[in-house]
Amino acid sequence: MSEHSELSEIRASVRALCEKFPGEYWRKLDRERGYPTEFVNALTEAGFLAALIPEEYGGSGLTMRAAITIMEEIHASGCNGAACHAQMYTMGTILRHGSDAQKKQYLPQIASGKLRLQAFGVTEPTSGTDTLNLRTTAKKEGNSTYTINGQKIWTSRAEHSDLMLLLARTTPKEQVQKRTDGLSVFLVDMRNAKGLTIKPIRTMMNHATTEVFFDDLKVPAENLIGEEGKGFRYILAGMNAERILIASECIGDAKWFIEKASAYAKGRVLFGRPIGQNQGVQFPIARAYMQMRAAELMVHEAARLYEAGEDCGEEANMAKQLAAEASWAAADMCVQTHGGFGFAEEYDIERKFRETRLYTVAPISTNLVLSYLSEHVLGLPRSY
Ligand SMILES: Cc1cc2nc3c(=O)[nH]c(=O)nc-3n(C[C@H](O)[C@H](O)[C@H](O)COP(=O)(O)OP(=O)(O)OC[C@H]3O[C@@H](n4cnc5c(N)ncnc54)[C@H](O)[C@@H]3O)c2cc1C
């Protein structure tokens, strides 16, 4: 089968699955801040969340282009992949840096959905984007255990995950030669863990995010991923996949807003003609479409480079930023096109508007993308 028809087939099956989860389903969860368990189970059973796990570990062994097709289509169908996108990419750190034993132990169970690895503990309240200043510590006790103390914030899906990929400091900052050394990555088993407290944070959209407290939490030394002290690099390596996948969600959101706005502009008749006959209404829709298509090209370029094993830091960052801006512009346009009805819950627009707003802030905010491009691509002086 050609790649094109394979992707079209994936798109059609994701769309068919999403049709079972219409607006009412998401609206109810949004009101209750509930987790879309049935939706996540359906995606897991269909193998979509195991897209990037190689077949030898029980995954679907699909390409990054297939993975972005899945995430885009979920969002273009009006659903929300934020509830489970991390199950797709967090395992990449084990795949790339884990030992053979860790890969054999965890990846097949993550692929089948028996184990959920969709909590990613990096951000902390005091350090935020300044990751190298994080304060959570992992202290080695003897040869067999690390003791974790500290706090994470915005650890999404922690209540709906069995495992957490955690970044913690193993060597004090003053004692490392390179400023990027001294942080380590652990796979924390959160099931019945003593010394771990999870507190939900209610946010403007339904996101199942939390803060997590570690109070003498014991983690077996065998749960260290890769080499001690090299964790910051492992986390950075995983961020390209995260950015490309989230960018594809934004493209899906933008498509959803553009479709909704076009349909409404054709059907709403005022002053004796459809509002979409007025160029004042048409042009913002056309502009949002153009912005989305340009961002989509960058997402595809980033995915192509990623698949080819080439450095795609520049393109992954630009894809995430351009796509997040395109989805936010499309959201704003969609509300404007709908007038008052854009604010009514039953149209789903205000919900999607709130959901898509996140992506110019997380997983990395606009200024940090611009700063990456300024320094690493354009060679401008370091600002921090
Ligand atoms: C709903 C939600 C879910 C999230 N999920 C996760 C998760 O699962 N795991 C996780 O680890 N994190 C998660 N995050 C955290 C997210 O990655 C951060 O919020 C984001 O990276 C920004 O960090 P911050 O909130 O600490 O802002 P800060 O770092 O405090 O920054 C605040 C503002 O200052 C700007 N700024 C900071 N430094 C500079 C500078 N040097 N130059 C110019 N501007 C600067 C930033 O761009 C930003 O606009 C989530 C966040 C949210 C809101």
Tens-place pLDDT, residues 63-109: 999 999 999 999 999 999 999 999 999 999 999 999 999 999 999 99
Q: What's the rounded Cα separation, in Å, for the pair 77 and 224? A: 39
Give the residue from 159, 157, 149 showing the smallest Cα distance to 213. Answer: 149
Q: What average pLDDT does range 129-157 have in this prediction?
A: 97
User: To test the ligand 1 pocket, which listed residue (85, 118, 129) has its Cβ within 8 A of the most ligand atoms?
Assistant: 129
Alpha-carbon gap, residue 325 to 319, rounded angstroms? 10
Per-residue pLDDT reduced to its tens digit, 198-242: 999 999 999 999 999 999 999 999 999 999 999 999 999 899 999
For 112, list phi and psi in degrees, rounded to 5. Answer: -80, -15
Kindly give the number of the ligand 1 atom that is closest to the alpha carbon of 207. Answer: 1
**Over the stretch 266-316, which tens digit does the pLDDT of each residue have?**
999 999 999 999 999 999 999 999 999 999 999 999 999 999 999 999 999
First to last CA, the chain: 49
What percent of the chain shows pLDDT beyond 90?
Answer: 98
With a cut of 90, say whether residue 384 has pLDDT above it: no
Distance of CA 178 to the CA centre of its chain: 29
**Rounded CA separation 19/13 (Å):** 10
Q: Whose CA is nearest to atom 36 of ligand 1?
A: 367
Render 140-206 in DSSP notation, one character per residue: EETTTEEEEEEEEE--TTGGG-SEEEEEEESS-GGG-SSTT-SEEEEEEE-TT-TTEEEEEE--SS-
- Which residues lie closer than 8 Å to 336 by C-beta, 6 or more apart? 284, 342
Confidence of residue 127 (pLDDT cuts 50, 70, 90): very high
Print the SS3 string covering 284-328. Answer: HHHHHHHHHHHHHHHHHHHHHHHHCCCCCHHHHHHHHHHHHHHHH
Residue 209 CB less than 6 A away from ligand 1: yes
| pLDDT over threshold 90, residue 345 | yes
Are the CB atoms for 87 and 120 separated by under 8 Å?
A: no
Tell me the average pLDDT across 249-260: 98
Could you tell me the distance, in angstroms and rounded to a whole number, from the CA of residue 364 to the centre of ligand 1? 6
Q: What is the mean pLDDT of residues 244-268?
A: 98
Q: Choose among 154, 151, 11: nearest CA to 69.
A: 11
d(CA 352, CA 335): 10
Q: Specify the residue with its C-alpha closest to ligand 1, atom 19.
A: 362
Q: Which atom of ligand 1 is nearest to the CA of 86?
A: 8
Picking from 370, 384, 374, the residue whose alpha carbon sits closest to that of residue 320 is 370
Residues 244 and 68: beta-carbon distance below 8 Å: yes
Cα–ligand 1 centroid distance for 362 (angstroms): 6
Residues 353-378: tens digit of each pLDDT: 999 999 999 999 999 999 999 999 99
Indicate whether 137 pLDDT > 90: yes
From 301, 303, 266, select the one nearest 282 (Cα to Cα): 266
For residue 31, what pLDDT band results from cuts at 50, 70 and 90?
very high
Is residue 382 lining ligand 1, measured as CB closer than 6 Å? Answer: no
Q: Is the CB of 145 under 6 A from ligand 1?
A: no
Ligand 1 centroid from CA 366, angstroms: 9
Tokens linked to 193:
């863990």
Provide the token pair at 116: 């959920």
Whether residue 358 has its Cβ less than 6 Å from ligand 1: yes
Ligand 1 centroid, distance to 367 Cα (angstroms): 10
Instruction: Give the HSE-up count for residue 78: Cα atoms under 13 Å, Cβ half-sphere.
Output: 20
215-226 b/e (C-beta count within 10 Å ≥ 16 → b): eebebeeebbbb
Categorize the per-residue pLDDT at 1 as very low, low, confident or very high, splitting at 50, 70 and 90: confident
Share of the chain above pLDDT 70, in %: 100
pLDDT band at 188 (very low <50, low <70, confident <90, very high): very high
What is the pLDDT, as a whole number, of residue 237? 87
Query: How remote is the CA of residue 318 from the centroid of ligand 1, in Å?
Result: 17
Q: What is the mean pLDDT of the chain?
A: 97
Tell me the CA distances in angstroms from 286 to 265, 289, 320, one per residue in order: 12, 5, 21
Pairing relation of β-strands 183-189 and 224-225? antiparallel
- How many CA atoms within 13 Å lie on the side-chain side of 331? 26
- The CB of 203 under 6 Å from ligand 1? The reply is yes
Sign of the C-alpha dihedral computed for residues 139, 135, 367 and 370 taken in this order: negative
Distance 131 CA to ligand 1 centre (A): 10
Ligand 1 centroid–CA 148 distance in Å is 23
Q: Which residue minimizes the CA distance to atom 13 of ligand 1?
A: 154
Ligand 1 binding pocket includes 120 (Cβ within 6 Å): yes
- Write out the two tokens for 215: 């109070």
Q: Bridge-partner residues for 139, per DSSP?
A: 147
54: helix, strand or coil: coil
pLDDT in tens, 164-183: 999 999 999 999 999 999 99
| Residue to substitute in 154, 242, 384 for testing ligand 1 pocket (most ligand atoms within 8 angstroms of CB) | 154
Q: Whose CA is nearest to atom 3 of ligand 1?
A: 154
